[in-house]
């Protein structure tokens, strides 16, 4: 057994078996257990090989947040769509389903969910994240993680931390204050650790205040492991680690993928397969990089073709005394601890379920619940059953918008696009015309094959002229003139590794504007990964934001448009009118100057900024319309001895059909001595009611909702004074207010 005098990480659960295994491992074997290797099946996104002589099994990791990436699997909606439902129970359901799919595919670890705050709406991975608000993100993160792990898979909280842009993500430094970190960027990770006991945390690519996330001792050891008592393992983002000694001593536990790109999968390109067969004396990394140079994008990860810095070089550093072997033991102990916790050592994991029918149903329900009705003039929606004709227009309207590009891509067995979904819904009772209008928007899934809507081919489907060419906008305008209602489906092309424009790609904005000029009624369905500019917003009758709905896209679009379900979504991000409306609107703040992005807005992110600067958004945080009407009455606030409060509100559905609303509670200090946002989300609850139904909702406001982080004292503090409680349906639609008094300044633990 280990010498009792050997330093141990008190936060890490251990056992006699774990300590016995660590004692029997050679240094080389320990090193092999803390970096990735080659999956013999070529499927795992990350793979820690087994140690067969000691009966230690492999650990298999797989992407991603919208479904299992490596095989045919359920394609769930984008994470931002789940967030739009503002429903923690639903988040748990999706997390549990994702966990079951991971196990069903033969893996152990889900490399998700992502908790990064939407600081700049241009971020290419906005669709993978939840919100611009730390409270909403925390509640959803906790439930998703618990769902994944209750199913028996290890969840991975990513990307720790301040990975808020894709441009220059491998090198940019987020220059951010501790207060902003504590109040905005860390809370979801903190909640996932302290409340959900997440098994793994992924360190990001970027730097934080000049130090890479993989080497950031304060964040990895002081905050994550010591302050929050995190007992899982920290894994790097793929090829993110640059300095093995610094990372090892700072608190990184596992380096991924651990092998260079040309060896990552057993089967790759013929050129890289050939390079992999060369003797080790050849500069294989250099040759592979040269072979890949024609397709490598600008700003590609510089470490793609390098061996793991947790490999031979780390072993040598241990032997030279630069890294204590007890530090390596601690990393192995953390990995083993999670393998034992989740039954991986004993092959005692629960049964999984890959691409299960009940998961398809859940994917549809999440997408329907996450659809946000942004605008609905003259009750244009829901569409009438008696319509004679509909025009479905859009460059990709016949194809399901399954997701964005990158590690979140999923291949479903089948999918359905909006055009087919609407045709199926009207079942021949209404004429449905189709016009593409503008050229197809290149979609990350197009190149994969087999993911396009099975009912209509992109190359020979409707919307093409007789000569096979893409029609002009004029064809779409002509179709819009002929029908009762025109549905224009627009989309963007967000992907990991690059940021997105807030303008729709191609000529889609012109398409919407010209159709709206002639159509009797125009409905715009937005398949976008985040906020977009809407110069045509005031010219159309209705706008529905469906984000990336996943494989059930067409069914969801039809059910929302025809009112089979009430659009229950509320915006988890603010839609500004102009780029300059957002807080990070200068080059210094985004994308940064000299690879430094100044987080000069501090805690004034998202709606906090819009409120503080009195900027009118296009659509505010929390906004979303319904097909019915709600009234809030009997609002009361009860405050206790500590800075906590309970809000009660009666919600009544005064409309003529069932529907869903989200009660939102915000807190703001009335005369703060320290600059603070006018209000911040403190509690919420999603409510479903039949026509004429009512319920009384009770929402608890915790102490931290009243607090700010005092950097001088290094503590959360609630100053004495008056605080306003806002109850409403969005950050800008406040229906009731009340005041509570904090009699003395209160430091929080």
CA–CA distances in Å: residue 679 to residues 149, 294, 648, 721, 740: 34, 50, 19, 15, 14
Give the DSSP letter string of 197-235. Answer: --SEEEEPSSEETTEEGGG-HIIIIIIIIIIS---SEEE
The alpha-helical segments, DSSP class H, found in 375-507 are: 418-426, 473-482
Query: Positive or negative CA dihedral for 325, 327, 328, 333?
Result: positive
Alpha-carbon span 71 to 68, nearest angstrom: 7
Task: Give catalytic status of residue 237 as yes or no.
Answer: yes
Biggest distance spanned by C-alpha atoms of the chain = 84
Lay out the sheet containing 680-689: strands in order across. Answer: 680-689, 659-669, 721-728, 734-742
Give the DSSP letter string of 671-723. Answer: S-SS---S-EEEEEEEEEE-TT-EEEEEEEE-GGGG-EEETTTTEEEE-SEEE
Alpha-carbon span 522 to 539, nearest angstrom: 9
Do 523 and 485 touch, CB atoms closer than 8 A?
yes
- Which pair of structure tokens corresponds to residue 426? 């009207």
Alpha-carbon span 149 to 199, nearest angstrom: 8
Alpha-carbon span 503 to 534, nearest angstrom: 8
- Which pair of structure tokens corresponds to residue 279? 């003797």
Catalytic residue among 237, 253, 493, 611: 237
Chain centroid offset of residue 655 CA = 34
Residue with the two structure tokens 């993160």 = 141
Do 539 and 364 touch, CB atoms closer than 8 A?
no
CA–CA distances in Å: residue 603 to residues 584, 599, 734: 12, 9, 22
> Three-state SS string across 152-199, please?
CCEEEEEEECCCCCCCCCCCCEEECCHHHHHHHHCHHHHHHHHCCCCC
Do 497 and 407 touch, CB atoms closer than 8 A?
no
CA–CA distances in Å: residue 727 to residues 131, 345, 650: 20, 50, 11
Contacts of residue 18, defined as CB under 8 A and 6 or more positions apart, other chains included, come to 333, 336, 337, 340
Alpha-carbon span 697 to 653, nearest angstrom: 13
Residue with the two structure tokens 């399954």 = 402
Single out the residue of 228, 261, 387, 325 nearest to residue 34, CA to CA. 325
Alpha-carbon span 246 to 241, nearest angstrom: 9
Alpha-carbon span 570 to 649, nearest angstrom: 19
- Strand partners of residue 631: 652
* Residue 386: other Cβ atoms inside 10 A: 8
Alpha-carbon span 89 to 86, nearest angstrom: 9
Single out the residue of 64, 39, 71 nearest to residue 258, CA to CA. 39
Give the H/E segment covering residue 390: strand 389-393
Helix, strand, or coil (residue 746): strand
Residues carrying an active site annotation: 237
């Amino acid at each position: 057994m280990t010498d009792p005098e050997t330093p141990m990480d008190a936060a890490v659960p251990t056992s006699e078996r774990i300590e016995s295994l660590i004692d029997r491992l050679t240094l080389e074997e320990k090193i092999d257990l803390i970096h990735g290797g080659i999956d013999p099946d070529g499927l795992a996104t990350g793979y820690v090989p087994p140690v067969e002589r000691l009966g230690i099994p492999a650990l298999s990791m797989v992407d991603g947040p919208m479904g299992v990436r490596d095989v045919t699997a359920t394609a769930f909606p984008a994470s931002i769509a789940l967030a739009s439902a503002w429903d923690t129970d639903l988040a748990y359901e999706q997390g549990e389903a994702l966990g079951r799919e991971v196990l069903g595919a033969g893996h152990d670890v889900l490399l998700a969910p992502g908790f990064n705050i939407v600081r700049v709406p241009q971020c290419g991975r906005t669709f993978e994240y939840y919100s611009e608000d730390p409270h909403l993100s925390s509640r959803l993160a906790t439930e998703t993680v618990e769902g994944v792990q209750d199913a028996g898979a290890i969840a991975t909280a990513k990307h720790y931390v301040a990975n808020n842009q894709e441009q220059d993500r491998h090198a940019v430094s987020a220059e951010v204050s501790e207060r902003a970190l504590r109040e905005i960027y860390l809370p979801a990770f903190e909640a996932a650790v302290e409340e959900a006991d997440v098994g793994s945390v992924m360190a990001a690519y970027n730097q934080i205040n000049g130090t890479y996330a993989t080497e950031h001792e304060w964040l990895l050891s002081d905050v994550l492991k010591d302050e929050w008592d995190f007992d899982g393992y920290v894994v790097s983002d793929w090829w993110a680690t640059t300095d093995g000694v610094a990372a090892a001593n700072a608190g990184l536990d596992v380096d991924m993928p651990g092998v260079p790109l040309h060896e990552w999968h057993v089967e790759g390109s013929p050129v890289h397969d050939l390079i992999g067969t060369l003797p080790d004396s050849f500069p294989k990394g250099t040759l592979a990089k040269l072979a890949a140079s024609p397709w490598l994008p600008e700003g590609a990860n510089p470490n793609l073709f390098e061996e793991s810095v947790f490999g031979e070089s780390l072993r040598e550093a241990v032997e030279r005394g630069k890294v204590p072997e007890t530090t390596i033991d601690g990393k192995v102990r953390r990995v083993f601890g999670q393998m034992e916790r989740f039954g991986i050592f004993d092959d005692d994991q629960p049964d999984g379920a890959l691409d299960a029918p009940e998961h398809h149903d859940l994917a549809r329900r999440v997408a329907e619940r996450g659809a946000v009705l942004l605008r609905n003039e003259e009750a244009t929606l829901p569409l009438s059953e008696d319509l004679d004709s509909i025009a479905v227009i859009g460059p990709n309207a016949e194809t399901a918008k399954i997701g964005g590009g990158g590690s979140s891509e999923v291949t479903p067995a089948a999918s359905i696009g909006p055009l087919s979904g609407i045709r199926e819904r009207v079942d021949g009772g209404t004429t449905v015309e189709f016009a593409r209008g503008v050229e197809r928007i290149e979609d990350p899934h197009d190149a994969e094959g087999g993911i396009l809507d099975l009912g209509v081919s992109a190359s020979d489907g409707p919307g093409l002229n007789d000569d096979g060419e893409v029609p002009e906008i004029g064809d779409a305008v002509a179709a819009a003139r002929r029908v009762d209602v025109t549905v224009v489906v627009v989309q963007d092309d967000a992907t990991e590794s690059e940021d997105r424009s807030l303008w729709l790609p191609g000529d889609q904005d012109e398409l919407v504007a010209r159709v709206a000029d002639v159509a009797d009624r125009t409905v715009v369905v937005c398949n976008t990964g985040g906020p977009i500019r809407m110069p045509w917003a005031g010219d159309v009758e209705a706008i529905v934001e469906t984000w990336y709905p996943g494989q059930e896209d067409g069914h969801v679009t039809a059910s929302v448009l025809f009112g089979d379900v009430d659009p229950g979504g509320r915006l988890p991000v603010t839609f500004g009118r102009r780029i300059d409306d957002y807080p990070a609107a200068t080059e210094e703040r985004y994308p940064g100057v000299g690879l430094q992005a100044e987080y000069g807005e501090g805690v004034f992110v998202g709606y906090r900024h819009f409120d503080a600067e009195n900027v009118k958004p296009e659509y505010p945080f929390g906004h979303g319309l319904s097909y019915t009407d709600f009234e809030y009455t009997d609002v009361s606030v009860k405050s206790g001895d500590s800075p906590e409060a309970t809000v009660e509100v009666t919600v009544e559905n005064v409309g003529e059909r069932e529907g869903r609303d989200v009660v939102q509670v915000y807190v703001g200090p009335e005369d703060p001595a320290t600059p603070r946002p006018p209000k911040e989300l403190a509690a919420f609850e999603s409510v479903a009611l039949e026509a004429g139904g009512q319920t009384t909702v009770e929402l608890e406001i915790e102490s931290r909702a009243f607090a700010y982080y005092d950097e001088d004292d290094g503590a959360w503090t609630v100053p004495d004074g008056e605080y306003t409680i806002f109850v409403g349906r969005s950050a800008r639609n406040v229906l009731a207010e009340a005041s509570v008094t904090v009699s003395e300044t209160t430091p929080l633990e």
